[in-house]
Structure 1
Amino acid sequence: MRLLRRIFGAPSLPRRITWLTTIVVAAGVWIAGLSAYFVTRLVLFDQLDRELISVATTASRTVAADLNTMGGLNAEALNAVNVTLVVVGADRQPITIQSAPRTLQWGTPELAVARLQEGSSARTGRADDGTPYRIVAVPMQVNGHPYALVIGRDLGPTTSALATLLITVILVGALLALAAAVVGALVARSTLRPLRELSAAVTRITRTDALDPIEVHGDDELSRLTRSFNTMLYSLGSSRARQRRLIADAGHELRTPLTSLRTNIELLVADQRSHMLPDSAREEILGDISAQLAEFTTLIQDLVQLAREDRIEPTREEIDLRDIVTHALERVRRRGPGLHFDVELNPLYLIGEPDTLERAVTNLLDNAVKFSPPGGTVRVYLDGDQLRIADEGPGIAEEDLPHVFDRFYRADAARNTPGTGLGLSIVAQTVARHGGWVRASRSAQGGAEFTLRLPGSTTPLDEPAEPAPQQLI
């Protein structure tokens, strides 16, 4: 096998299937044919032995009546029934028919029948001219003297029939093996077509970097594999498109703060030589640089958060969402002095990531604080599995509602407000990772309202269920 591989190379899968089909069919046909051949051979020889023993038993009575004339049997009569006869005495003296064309070569089995005078023998032997014979011997007594009557029949016709059968088995096996090779090649070619298309698609993708799906036919295992491959191509294409969009959007968003930061730094560098800027202007520029660096840092952090596509899941634990909202409120209250917070929190327990959930809730609260008017009220309600955060700001226009969770999207009313445009995208991503959803709408007071749903329970997850009351009978 290794030598064949070195000479012809490793066979392809269709070729291996064709060879395997051919070998299995040929082996099956030849094993069945050879089994039939040997069974037929045994049956023919058994029938021949029975027939010869019957003839020898009948002839022994005739020969025993007149041994000198062999019971009147002659060469012509024996040729008519296609047998040759010889009488073997216990003293090893044979008696043959005169003018017989052949003489059987008797041996130890026939001598044993003559001496023991019981049973019979059957074997394949030869005549004096080398012709193969089937030879049987039966006991016979003449005037108290033990003999064995030995009769043989030429095996030429039987051997010819068996040879014809053997050749037929070999030829039929070869023809069926050839037919199996053709059928196996056709079946392998048609069955493995999805696999060839899949291999060609992988080669094409490697060469051209084009993520074109493969056309699928049927519903077998290879077709399902092709569908899975198409799904992988779609996911890869979507991931690549998101990465390109993120890079393009990030480049656009980073251009403005970097340009402003560069301009301010160049002013300070120029002032080191000319000393033309007053102290108040220098302090104002430094304040702008500090604010721009803070905005730039926040933008980078948000980009890193959104760009993470690794499958390493943060540690999840049981969370009381009231604690998450309370911690987020403590941070946000300092950013909205003068605002009133109307808070009503009911228990909601879930399994999740405390840090990412707190950041998502903080983003929603920051958004409400940013757009609330001075002295306004921010309403925070946690009821059941839904958290609602509403403000009294200008609200969100109807045409902007479908896009508020897109990356870097800003409505016309929010273009001059601080922020990276990524906060709500992070909220949507975090909520989706926890199996929930978030949507935006207008509040009853005219401002924006965000409803966040997270699957959970109003009772602690590890709290045992109350036993059912027992009924007294």
Structure 2
Amino acid sequence: MGVLGSSLLVIVVLVSTVLMQGVSRDVAAEILSNRLSALNRFVQLASHVASDDDLEMLQIEMDTYSGLYDEGLLIIADGHQLVSGNISAQDPDVADTLRAAALNLERTDIPAVNPFLDSGALIARPFGNTGQVLGSVTMKVNLEPARMKVLQASSMVILATLTVGAVFLLLANRLATWVLRPLHRLDDSVQLLTQTQRPIPLVEQGPPELRALSRSVSSMAHTMATSLQQQQELIAETSHQLRNPVAALRLRVDLLKMRLPDRASAEGLRSVENELARVEMLLDGVLRLASAEHRLTEQNSEEGVADSSAGKESINVLQVLAEEFERQSATAQAAGNTLILEGAAESTQDVSVWCNLFDLQQMVAELLENAIKYAPATQITLSVKSSPTMVEVMICDQGPGMNKTEIGRAGERFWRAESVRGTAGTGLGLAIVDRLARANSGQLLVTANPQAGLASIIRLPRAPSLTEKSDD
């Protein structure tokens, strides 16, 4: 609309200028025609002056004309100079006109009237016989009535062109709206599809090309959403279905192990058990990741339709940390770790967040298990940092940590740092925590611990605590 409005403004200015110039020329031509008639009349009177009485009568005619039209007359006849009205022979323009007339050069043109400039115009015509110039008539034309006429006409022209321009601008606005509304809806639909992974039906509107585009986008969105859903279902169902044959294999290995008489065969089966344990761990991780991504998709879908907090509740963060601290204390002690829970006896124990309880327990457990696994025999600190709107749950270890490149890839599926390839794991833990955090309108941050090791931070929206609710 900015481009259309600027273009229409330029057109209005050009059309108005052309029309105003035409009006000025027409008015100038009209007044010139009238004044040339008066000029010819005075030329005829001046050419017949033969006595003082004729000069006196000519002066009377000149005064009458000047009083009537407020225009100046300067006539040179029979060696005399007669003046009436607001004209002077000492005026440079008048003097130039008189010299030209003395050379038998007439001046009978009036320029286009400028409605914004108060000025007059000079016209002159010499007279005499074939051999010499006997005199001249110079008239200073009053252009004020013409200027007012042009100004009035120009105002009408400007008003008319502005009205027409406004009408065209309104039509252009309606046309642009008709064309662009489907594009805006397409953009909203694509953004909503990106967030929710669910197709939104599009109403076919606008030109035929945009209707065809709407149909194509709707078909593409439906196909993509169906494909994504099928992929998620395939991963979840495949992982679930593989658990049964893996469990059957473990049962057969256990039975075979009981029947083998020699120790060497039992040792050989132990490697098979380790591989089965690794497969079970991988299947469990894939199932948890599929569940976390499903939760994230559901949360995005709810936000795309309406701001929903279904499944979320106000949870005391330190209570969850204390429960997980107690549950994994034995594992940490066996690995040589020292667990520290900060703020348990302080006022921060009343800090609450909006989150699904099971999701928060799973996120804290996953990060604490990672810290125990990859930073054995070190100190692990669990703490909470709060602000008016957000709460940060921090689990910091003093292990080997990761460099910047590794930290940037920490949330990728199945990715593991080179330094921990020999440690049992699937590379899905941080990916699961990242999806669950986002599913609860939060965020996972992995940074280097200022002292040593790694700091994993879960940022979640803060909920009113019990103390704040009682104050309200």
The TM-score range, normalised by the shorter chain, is 0.3 to 0.5
**TM-score (structure 1 length as normaliser):** 0.46
